[in-house]
Each structure stands twice: as structure tokens, then as C-alpha cells.
A and B are shown apart, each in its own frame.
Chain A
Amino acid sequence: MAIQPLNSFAEEKTDSAAAPAESRMALNYLCSTDSVNLSATLTIKRGDMTLALENAVVEFTASNGTTTTILGTAKTNQEGSALLSFPSALLPTDKDGMVSYMAKFTGNDKYPAAEATSSAKPAKIRLFFSIEDSLRILKVTATQKNEKGEDVAIPKETVLIYIPRLFSLLKIGEISLDETGTGTLEFPKEIVGDTLGNLVVIAKIEEHDKFGFVQGKNVINWGVHKQYYKAEVPSRELWTPIAPLWMIITLLVMLAGVWAHYMYAVYELVMIKRLSKKDKPLF
């Protein structure tokens, strides 16, 4: 499949179609419990118009300043995003534990090359659930690796707690970590989960200068059980198997009444035709 900007029809209609294309890359980083997730977004700017580039191959690398590791390649999707996940344990780190990431599009005849870099220190957030004095408690710990490769606490940071909903994440609270990288939150009682009451709980450190985006996730059945609505009798919804009886009866009566009158009018026309055989012309 060829590399192409989305909405090429719209692009051709504009005056900016003749302008030289400029490739742009943005790199986003998210560190989850055991892996890092890299997301590179490739766009083409031509004149005033910016379009996502689809099917472009993006190469992801990680470096500690002396060693560069190729993490892998991924193709951009409809939104121009290429996604890659890589085990955090295999990342090359420098003496401070930092990793420099790079996403690179080598370009072709039509679209110039583009690259973007980002650096962050891998970290972990873990979530634990407990019930204390009949209160539901969420406990969060955040850790980073020291120079010996051991897990040490991330102190005095703010962790945001979310529950995924239909369109976005619902924020349910914030936790301030203590010196041991630990914090707690009383879990709310009235959040609707799935049919079993399961809730996915996400804890995040966001836009940190050193750690970037760090995320931990866990599932707990502390949600209110979801009850699916089930219509007991057929109603007006399009997905019900049959229409309501009153509607069928009304429609049939009306149609029968109308078409019976049509038939009567046609019958009168037939009778007029039959009567003509006995009569002479109009003049």
C-alpha cells in the first residue's frame, strides 16, 4: 500500500497543493509497569494544510549516549500514528538511569525525512487494594531504578487516579506520595463497573520533567454491578423483533380503508366502461 496523506481529495482542491511538503514528527512516551509505549505521529504540512501520513514506516531507537538500540519499526495508521511497545528491562540507560528515544521516518521522493526525540527515566507505579475499617483503600507505590538496578521510591510526587469511561478517563482523585513513594486514597463507592462490578483503575504521573508519563493499572471488583436494560415487551425500538400490536392494527385498518375506496373508484370506472357499449357518442 502506498504512503498517502489522508483526505487527498480535499488537499487537491486547495491552492496550497503546489507548496512543498514538510514532514513533521511528534514522539509521545508512556511508561507502564513492565514496558514503555512509544507513539510517533507523522504529519505533512503543505501550505496552510496539515495532513496525517498513512502507511509510513517509522523506526524507533533508544540510546544511553554511547549505545543505541533499535527497538523496532511500525507503520503509521490513518491518524498518522505509529505505535511500539518495548520491555523496559531491556532499555539502555545512562548513569542517571535516563533513556533517549528517537522516532525516525527516512522519507522518500515525495515526502522529506523527519525525526523526533524524547528522553525519560523508566519508572513503575503499582496499585494495591485493601479494606480497612470497612473503608475501601487504594494504595499506590511509585519506584525507579537506581544505579545498581534496584527499585527505589519516588518521593513527593502527585499521582492522578482515573477510571476509564466510554469516551475518556474519569478522574476520581489525586494521591500525594510520601518519602517512601507511597500514598493512599479512599475509593469511592458508587462507580458503575461491568456486570461483575469490575473496574479498571489507572494511576498516572503526568508530564514529569524526569519521568515523563508513567502509568500503572489494576482491576478490582469494587464497582456497582451494571444492569443491562432488557425490554420485556416489544417496543418502538428498531432492534425489537416486531412492531407493537397497536401500530400493526392501526396501519392495517388505515391501509385497508384507503385501498378499499381506491378499489371502489376503480370498480366505478369499470362500470362506466361497461355502460358505454350500450350508448352512443357524446356528440
Chain B
Amino acid sequence: MELQQKNPLRDFAPQLERTSIQGYVWIVFLLAVIGLGFYAFLQQVFLGHEVTGMRDNVVWGVYIVNFIFFMGVSYAGALISGTLHLFKTAWRKPIIRMAEFITIIALLIGPCFILLCIGRLDKLHYLVLFGRIQSPITWDVIAITTDIFGCFIFLYLSLLRDLATLRDYELLQLPNWRKKLYKVLALGYTGTPEQQQRLNRATDIMAAMVISIAIIVYSVLAWIFSVTLQPGWHSTIFGPYFVIAAVYSGSAVLIVCMWVFRKVYHLEEYITKKHFVAVGLIMLVLAAFFGYFTFSDYLTKWYGSEKNDELLIQLLFKEFYWPFIISNYIGVLLPLLVVGIAKFRTISNITITSVVVIIALWLNRYIIVVPTLESPYLPIQDARPEWLNYSATWVEWSLTAAGVAIFCLLFTIASKFITIVPLSGSQGEEKKEDVLV
């Protein structure tokens, strides 16, 4: 009720109406990074995959790691926003839209990285024309497509009330095209009881759907690895392990987004320490689960003493020592200490921890993908020594940076189009007084 009295739309109007000099500098910087990525992409298109570190032996690298990472962040956004909505969590309002944006934006960027892995993009349509249901790759294509549609519908349903508010708020100084766009997108929603009832019903259903789809789709991604007999991948717990890792990384990304938007748009009044601690506690629980799954996975591999698993674990503790330590020790223990001990629970500490968790979870995906491909079952014959190990090139790093830049740019654009904190409530919470002057 406090927010309603303060009229949040008046507070958010500057965010929607104009962009500061710093905002333009930020956008130009992002475009420059994207431009570098585009140049790297052209290099790859015209010179072939030879410009990447991927070779006959290690056929997947940073691209697939980014794909898994962004898809995980997306599913985490869907799970968090869907769960917060469905359980009508009291403190969800200032952060739920960020979770929804994370879902969609990461979902648009993730699959682009899998396309970068494909050598013959001109034959991409064969996947649809000649797709085989028994192939996990086909499952993934179907699952991701289904997920994209579901997440868009859920986001749109969540935005509908605010689109109507922005359409009807005459004091907003916006170009005519934007007002017309709000009018079209608002679908004539005026908040009548019947409209509210239908909207709430549809949103509740889609919230349940995005949660279940996120779990299934990320499990499908995990099964692409675990149905193979490769050491390190062939694990029955990979499905839930991937889901937990995804929500874990997504909660960290959400905290970083909360910190950034709180600073940039001065939302200290809306996004408080209470929200950081709440999401931080979610992250803490997920850290514990993630640590448990990781330990369980490696313990059984180590104790089983199967030759190739042993070789893989040796590789992880030698050549991949630091990535392994950061992802599986620091990435697990830091949230437990920082969020678990009450006196360490400051906004800055939780945010810094989240940054470490994001890096740790990215590295976690790296040490799942690359070391396994560097330790195949068959002895490698007639392979050049430089092909036996993977090392990412500037092309891959540039495209990775471009992916992150696109994520930031789309988030920036989205926050200019609609308020980053929902103006209206839902489930009957909304009243016209909520947004009226």
C-alpha cells in the first residue's frame, strides 16, 4: 500500500521518457562489443570453424558452454518468476519482472550459440525436414521452441496490466508511436472483474506451465549429454543436477540485475535489502543442493574406479584445477558463508557473491563439456597434437562478449519500454488507485 500512495508511475516516468548521457554511452559501448562479435562472426563464416579452437577431437567449446549457461539462466528466470507468481509471494513484486525479462532475453540469446557451433548452417532446415524423434537433439529443438512460445505468452500476460496503465496515463511524455503501441498491446484491458478473472486464470496456468516446461526442457538439455556413454556425462542425476545448477545461476543473475537497476534507476525505495536477502536465501538453498549433486556425481565416479572416469577426475584435478576449485568449492561455499551468516548479509556482499557464483557456474559448464571431450574412450590415431586439447580463440571470446552485450542491451531496451518494477498487482490486488495520480 505504501507503493500505491507514492504513485510508482510518476517515479518511473523518467526511466521511460528519456535516456541520460551515461545511458547513451552505455548503449554505444554495448553496440561496440556487439560489433566486435559481428566481425568475429564474419571471420568464422568466411574462414570456417578453423578460426575457433574447436577441432575433430574437441568438437564443442565455449559456444556450447554459453548455450548451456544462457539456457540455464532463462529457465531459472522462468522457474523463479513462475514460482513467485504461483505462490503469491508477498515480496515478489519489485523483482518478478526482472526474472521474466531474464527468461525471455536469455532464451533468445542461448540458441544463437548453438547455431555458432554448426558448421553447415545452410542445412539447418534439415533438422526439421528430416528430424528423427529418437534423437535427443530433436527433443531439444522441440523443447526450446515450445519453451520460447510459452515464455512469451507468460511475459505478455504479466505485462498486460502495465501496458494498459501506460496506455491510459496521459502525463507520460512519449512519442505517438509508443502510445499507439501500448494501446495495441494492451488489448483494451480496463481491469473489469471479468477481464481480471480471465487474466489471472491465464497467468496462473502459464505460470504453472513455464515452471514444468523449464524443468523438462533443461532436463532434455542434460539428457543430450547423459544419454551418451562419455566419461563424465553418462550420469542418471544429470537432469536434476542441470536444473538445480540452472536455477542457482539464474538466482545469481537476478541478484546482479537487481543491484544494477537499483543503482541506475534509483530504486532503493522499491528494491530493498529484504529482497536481496530473500533471493540470497534462495541462492543459499540452491548452493547446498548444487554442492550435494556435484559431490554425489563425482563421488560415485571416483569410487567406481572405472578407467575413463578415473582419467577424467585426474584431468580435472590437474589441467582444470582452478576452474574445478572455483566452480565446485568456492562457488558452493561462498554463498553458504555470506548469506548463511546473518552479519555478512549486506547488499554488496550478496551481489559480489552472486558475481562469483555466475563465474563459478559458467566454469562448471566448461569443465563438464571440455575435459570429457579431451578424454575420449578410443585412442586417437593420426591426430595432430594441437587438436587434442581445446583452447578458445579470440573469435569465440568476442562472440561470447557479444552475447553478454546483447543480453545487457536487450535488458536496457526492455527497461525503457516498460517499467522494471510492475506498476500493478494481480489476483485482485490491482485497483485503479494503485496508479492514479
With contacts A7-B384, A281-B167 known, what are 7 further pairs, Cβ within 8 A? A167-B381, A237-B134, A243-B134, A248-B133, A258-B213, A275-B192, A282-B167
Residues of chain A within 8 A of B436, CB atoms compared: 283
Residue of A10, A258, A262, A265 contacting most chain B CB atoms (<10 Å): A265
- Do A269 and B187 contact each other (CB < 8 Å), given the known contacts A7-B384, A261-B209, A262-B209? yes
A181 CB to closest chain B CB (Å) equals 36
Interchain CB contact under 8 A, B190 and A276 = yes
Docked CA distance A281–B167 (Å): 9
Residues of chain A within 8 A of B156, CB atoms compared: 269
Residues of chain A within 8 A of B201, CB atoms compared: 268
Docked CA distance A266–B209 (Å): 14
Interchain CB contact under 8 A, A266 and B153 = yes
Interchain CB contact under 8 A, A265 and B134 = no
The B150-167 residues at the A interface (CB cut-off 8 A) are: 150, 153, 156-157, 160, 164-165, 167
Residues of chain B within 8 A of A269, CB atoms compared: 156-157, 160, 187, 202
Interchain CB contact under 8 A, B189 and A258 = no
**B56 contacts partner chain A, Cβ-Cβ < 8 Å:** no
Residue of B139, B142, B150, B188 contacting most chain A CB atoms (<10 Å): B188
Interface residues on A, range: 35 or more
A271: nearest chain-B partner, CB-CB? B198
A78 CB to closest chain B CB (Å) equals 10
Docked CA distance A281–B189 (Å): 8
Residues of chain B within 8 A of A277, CB atoms compared: 188
The B176-222 residues at the A interface (CB cut-off 8 A) are: 187-192, 194-195, 198-199, 201-202, 205-206, 209, 213, 216
Neighbour of A259 across the interface among B146, B168, B386, CB < 8 A:
B146
Interchain CB contact under 8 A, B134 and A247 = yes
The A7-48 residues at the B interface (CB cut-off 8 A) are: 7, 9-10
Interchain CB contact under 8 A, A258 and B134 = no
Docked CA distance A151–B171 (Å): 111
The B398-437 residues at the A interface (CB cut-off 8 A) are: 432, 435-436
> DSSP majority for the A interface?
helix
Interchain CB contact under 8 A, A273 and B133 = no
Residues of chain B within 8 A of A266, CB atoms compared: 153
Which B residues have a C-beta under 8 Å from some C-beta of A?
A: 50, 132-135, 139, 142, 146, 149-150, 153, 156-157, 160, 164-165, 167-169, 187-192, 194-195, 198-199, 201-202, 205-206, 209, 213, 216, 381, 384, 386, 432, 435-436
Interchain CB contact under 8 A, A265 and B168 = no
A248: nearest chain-B partner, CB-CB? B133
Interchain CB contact under 8 A, A243 and B132 = yes
Docked CA distance A167–B168 (Å): 75
Neighbour of A251 across the interface among B142, B169, B195, B202, CB < 8 A:
B142
Query: What are the 4 A-B residue pairs with the smallest beta carbon separation, nearest first?
Result: A276-B188, A268-B202, A243-B133, A243-B134
B197: nearest chain-A partner, CB-CB? A268
Interchain CB contact under 8 A, B132 and A283 = no
Which A residues have a C-beta under 8 Å from some C-beta of B?
A: 7, 9-10, 167, 236-238, 240, 243-244, 247-248, 251, 254-255, 258-259, 261-262, 264-266, 268-269, 271-273, 275-277, 279-283
Interchain CB contact under 8 A, B195 and A275 = yes
B69 CB to closest chain A CB (Å) equals 25
B204: nearest chain-A partner, CB-CB? A265
Interchain CB contact under 8 A, B190 and A265 = no
A168: nearest chain-B partner, CB-CB? B381
Residue of B153, B165, B202 contacting most chain A CB atoms (<10 Å): B202
B169 CB to closest chain A CB (Å) equals 8
Interchain CB contact under 8 A, A281 and B146 = no
Interchain CB contact under 8 A, B133 and A283 = no
A258: nearest chain-B partner, CB-CB? B146
Residues of chain A within 8 A of B165, CB atoms compared: 282
Interchain CB contact under 8 A, B432 and A282 = yes
Residues of chain B within 8 A of A279, CB atoms compared: 188, 190, 192, 195
Residues of chain B within 8 A of A282, CB atoms compared: 164-165, 167-168, 189-191, 432
B213: nearest chain-A partner, CB-CB? A258
Interchain CB contact under 8 A, B187 and A272 = yes
Docked CA distance A109–B134 (Å): 56
Residues of chain B within 8 A of A281, CB atoms compared: 167-168, 190
- Do A272 and B188 contact each other (CB < 8 Å), given the known contacts A255-B146, A262-B149, A283-B436? yes
Residues of chain A within 8 A of B213, CB atoms compared: 258
Docked CA distance A273–B198 (Å): 11
Interchain CB contact under 8 A, A240 and B134 = yes
B137: nearest chain-A partner, CB-CB? A238
A240: nearest chain-B partner, CB-CB? B134
A276 CB to closest chain B CB (Å) equals 2
Residue of A255, A259, A276 contacting most chain B CB atoms (<10 Å): A276
